[in-house]
Structure 1
Amino acid sequence: MLRAASAPVLVDFDASSPEVARALIGAHFRVDGVGGRIVETEAYDVLDPASHSYRGPSVRNATMFGPSGCAYVYRSYGLHWCLNFVCREVGHGAGVLVRALEPLEGIEVMRDRRGVADARLLCAGPGRVAQALAITVAHDGLRLDQAPFVLEMPSTPQTVVVGVRVGISKARDVPWRFGLKGSRFVSRPFP
């Protein structure tokens, strides 16, 4: 288990990716003091054809097969960085994609980075999250319980909604997308 900085509870990054994805809803996540509440995640696993780890380790996805509790950062479609939290044991190949945050700290910094004034659009989508938090490949492999990251798990139970993942072509019907019920900051509405 990894104790997140200043966390009132533990997050077990050695659990399955769906369990970790659900547990992260409502957590506060910051990079160098900029961030907010995690309101949407997606789970991926080595046995999942939509996962980067499905075909085994490679240079691109090596971090997914490393220790749990680290950041896995990759470039999506050659355009956007995306942030995942590695989970399960070393060698397994599982992670949780951070799809959306409710911006709470450093909003003006996020607006400058994104060139967007509407707070709802600052972190609604994985590419937007990475841009707003200035996540790059330099963060790949860094531990989530150490600077520049701060991860604080929610101290009260969160009402979580579940749906199918979005933006993928394989295993589209797998209900491994999790969101904070009623949040207007998710990337796409839940059914």
Structure 2
Amino acid sequence: MVEAWYMDESSEDQRKPHRLQPNRPVSTAELQRLGVSSWKLDADNHETDPELERIRRERNYSWMDIITIRKDTLPNYEEKIKMFYEEHLHLDDEIRYVLDGSGYFDVRDKNEQWIRIAMEKGDLITLPAGIYHRFTLDEKNYVKAMRLFVGEPVWTPYNRPADHFEAREKYVLSLTQLG
């Protein structure tokens, strides 16, 4: 499963791990309370993996493509890296499956503290609609990921503040129901 921890406040390179000292790990159960789901799958066999097929069927992930984020393959690389790292939300779930390489998703907890989620080959993650998040590569500067959607893809990020959207209101309500 994915590894996660609370981040420090350092302004050092965003691609570094940014662990608090001492480290404060975040469990899979804590991530699930925030609406974040994750699985460990066989990325080498993603085209025929029955577990991936089961997840896609159960969650209606009907559309997919593959993106490679690396300086020599992604047009407007520097601009895109900055855009991915801007704190934002989507009106639909964000589903990513790392086929190769690695990177980080950062999400906010109920108290607005950043949690860093390390993603590596074989990790599939779902971030719920309305959660503020951001993405960055790690120091390896490379990830190949499958992007999955329910229905037609919607790529629109809404940078913070975006609290007026129904998806955000529903997400915040789900957090308050946790107690």
Q: With structure 1 as the length reference, what TM-score do the two structures score?
A: 0.26
Larger Rg: 2
Higher relative strand content: 2
TM-score normalised by the chain length of structure 2: 0.27
